[in-house]
Each structure stands twice: as structure tokens, then as C-alpha cells.
Amino acid sequence: MQVFPFIVVAWVLAVGLYGIVTSRHLIHQIVCLIVVQSSTYVLLLGIGYRRGAVAPYFSDIPVHTPAVDPVVQALALTDVVVEAAVTALLLSFAIQAHKRFGTLDPHELVQLKG
């Protein structure tokens, strides 16, 4: 349990990158990028986690209760939302590319450019 979450992080990152490298479809690539990015959330929250601690909300518990790190949670939280907006931007580029060149295969797109 000491390092297992971080191994999972590396696995998610690697498998997402593998998807991007072997992809033949731009939208498929974008989805793989989402997977790659999701590994960072697991990493951040994994670092901030403390065994036996509670979530950092002190509405109904005393302030001295041991709680997990709120800073990494704040980072992950905004990342998730920004990721969606960036995905939308990438998707609009993919639509535009499809409109211009009639294909979403990155290999064919490279040949068209060259």
C-alpha cells in the first residue's frame, strides 16, 4: 500500500500515452489525453492523503481533527474543470481539421501538410 497508488498513477500515464502514440483518430487521441491528465489528479490527491484523516471540512468537526491536505485538492479541483474547457478547444480544432481535410487520421493529416 506504500507505493501502490503511485504505481497506478504511472500505469495510467503510460497507458494513456500509448493510446496517443498508436492512435489513428484525432478524437481518440483527445480522449487518451484526458486519461493522461487524470493520472495527475490521482497523483496529487495521493500525495496529500493521510491515513485515517478526514476531509478538510470543519463544519461539524473540531478544527484540530487531523485532515488531509486541502492545497492539492484545490489544485486538482480547478484542473478538472479547466481540462474540460481545453478538451472543448481541442475538439473544435479536430472538427475544423476534419472540415478542411476530410480526415481525422493524424498520419494522413501529416502527409497532407508535408
Residues 43-102 that bind other proteins (CB under 8 A): 45-59, 61-74, 76-78, 80-89, 91-96, 98-99, 102
Q: What is the smallest separation between the CB atom of 111 and other proteins, expressed in angstroms?
A: 12
Does residue 40 interact with other proteins by CB under 8 A? no
Nearer to other proteins, 57 or 113 (CB): 57
Does residue 111 interact with other proteins by CB under 8 A? no
Q: What is the smallest separation between the CB atom of 13 and other proteins, expressed in angstroms?
A: 8
Q: What is the smallest separation between the CB atom of 112 and other proteins, expressed in angstroms?
A: 16
- Positive or negative torsion for Cα 44, 46, 52, 54: positive
Q: Name the β-bridge partners of 67.
A: 54
Length of the chain: 114
Q: What is the smallest separation between the CB atom of 110 and other proteins, expressed in angstroms?
A: 10
The 10 Å Cβ neighbour count of residue 44 is 20
The 10 Å Cβ neighbour count of residue 23 is 19
Q: Name the β-bridge partners of 54.
A: 67
Does residue 109 interact with other proteins by CB under 8 A? no
